[in-house]
Amino acid sequence: MTAVVSGLDRTDPEGEIARTVATCRNWGRWGEDDRLGTLNHLTDEMRAAAAGLVRRGRAYSLSLPFDMDGPQKGWRRRTNPVHTMLDTGTDAAAGTQGFPHGLGGADDVVAMPLQCSTQWDGLGHIFDHGRAWNGRPCGEVVTSEGDRVTGIEHMADRVAGRGVLLDVGRAVAGGELPDGFAITAEHLEATIAAQGAGSEVGTGDLLLIRTGQLTRARRDGWGEYAGGPAPGLSFTTAGWLQRREVAGVATDTWGFEVRPNEFDVAFQPLHQVVIPNMGLLVGEMWQLDDLAADCAEHGRYEFFLSAAPLPFTGAVGSPVNPVAVL
């Protein structure tokens, strides 16, 4: 199935992007020095209220395993994590570690691209016509030293609050959306209506969208999961996300938006709108199946979500182990 959405001129991505940016751009909204974008929607008061959503104490990790069996296949030099032991039990048993009084230990190291598995895109990840978030020249923001302005470390204590799951795969297709399926605002609204009370999406929320593609990839093999055809958000949902004032949004797909993209010649046009112009925090490759099953069983789709990025100084993305607590 290919993505077909009425109202879009497939031959004019530049024009469609410009028109959407004109209605969704948040430059200056939180001051010219802002480093947080839509995370500004999420206040301390909202975070405190979200803590009250915990009723059963059931917690779910929403992360994929970080190992060599991950989804990456080398696009843009992205590899799966490489885990190497520096010290082992074998070394301890051989007595080669040099510790006194029988002490032994193990130590290890991981080498990995920061966006090779479950992750957040930082605000320095995508540019629009040479401009980074808040209108800054991209060459002055991200250099060989990293993101010197909006590095992911600035978000380290902010990404915790009300999470809400929209299980579009279950509501629209009974489980899994086909590759190339464009999720429109109408699909999102239909999912909210199907799930009922507690599924409304509003200011400061951390929105999770399950398509079911990851379910399929884990069952059938990674295949083209990392970069190939996928269900995802339609370009036309930018306005919906802007009006809802969400703090962040994450999906169970590699690229957040529908692939192939909805224009004849394009690459990730929704990214081009929501990250550098809207300042939206975007997450990808989140494992939402276990959480979705619990939500469906109990008829409750809101929870406390903690999803802090690792504060790598100057990074434009970060691996994350999101935890939803119901």
76-85 pLDDT, tens digit each: 899 999 999 9
**pLDDT score, position 220:** 98
Q: Is 160 helix (H, G, I), strand (E, B) or coil?
A: strand
Question: Whole-angstrom distance between the N-terminal and C-terminal Cα of the chain?
Answer: 35
Residues recorded for the chain: 326
Checking if the pLDDT of 86 tops 60, the result is: yes
**pLDDT score, position 76:** 87
**pLDDT score, position 5:** 63
pLDDT in tens, 27-83: 999 999 999 999 999 999 999 999 999 999 999 999 999 999 999 999 889 999 999
What number is the average pLDDT over the span 195-211?
A: 97
Rounded distance between C-alpha atoms, residue 29 and residue 242, angstroms = 13
pLDDT in tens, 143-186: 999 999 999 999 999 999 999 999 999 999 999 999 999 999 99
**What class does CATH assign to 13-75+113-325?**
alpha beta
Q: What own/partner pairs with CB < 8 Å and gap ≥ 24 does 288-293 have?
A: 288/62, 288/165, 288/167, 288/208, 288/210, 288/214, 288/252, 289/210, 289/214, 289/215, 289/218, 289/252, 290/60, 291/60, 291/62, 291/165, 291/208, 291/324, 292/165, 292/167, 292/170, 292/210
Rounded distance between C-alpha atoms, residue 271 and residue 294, angstroms = 30
- What stretch of H or E contains 251? strand 248-251
**pLDDT score, position 3:** 47
**pLDDT score, position 2:** 45
Could you tell me the pLDDT band of residue 1, with boundaries at 50, 70 and 90? Answer: very low
Domain residue limits, the chain: 13-75+113-325, 83-111
Checking if the pLDDT of 260 tops 60, the result is: yes
Q: What predicted TM-score, i.e. pTM, was given to this entire model? A: 0.96
Axis-axis angle for helices 213-220, 289-298 (nearest 10): 120
- What stretch of H or E contains 143? strand 142-143
Contact status, residue 276 vs residue 124, Cβ threshold 8 Å: no
Could you tell me the pLDDT band of residue 6, with boundaries at 50, 70 and 90? Answer: low
